[in-house]
Amino acid sequence: MKPAGALVSVVDDDKSVRESLPDLLKELGFRVDTFASATEFLASDSIHETKCLVLDVTMPVMTGPELQEELARRGQEIPIVYITAQRSSAMRLRLIEQGAVECLFKPFSDRALHEALQLAVCKP
């Protein structure tokens, strides 16, 4: 699948992330939806169209990994690029071993995010 026009859903409780990432993602040719929580994403229609999740690891109520587990339980296979302020190589490795395409430490470069999204959207 070509990345252009693919829907990327950003799920992060940090309002500044939800406000800043859409501009970059749109410049890169993606459509974007944003959600303040995992439960908000699960209740949305976007769950069926999303080609990649940009997902915060630590959020109240339901964490990123818990959302990943819930999606797997529902049979929804959506590639995930995690973003986190926690600089833990062990956590990054664990998330990738559990199926994430990438785990980027905040602040991350536009290029690093773009490369991760390309991998995620083009993933078979």
Sorted by where each begins, the domain ranges of the chain are 7-121
For 16, phi then psi, to 5°, come to -65, -35
Fold classification of 7-121 is Rossmann fold (3.40.50)
As a whole-number percent, the residues of the chain with pLDDT over 70 amount to 95
Chain segment 42-84, per-residue pLDDT in tens? 999 999 999 999 999 999 999 999 999 999 999 999 999 999 9
pTM for the complete prediction? 0.93
Confidence of residue 37 (pLDDT cuts 50, 70, 90): very high
Evaluate if residue 14 carries a pLDDT over 50.
yes
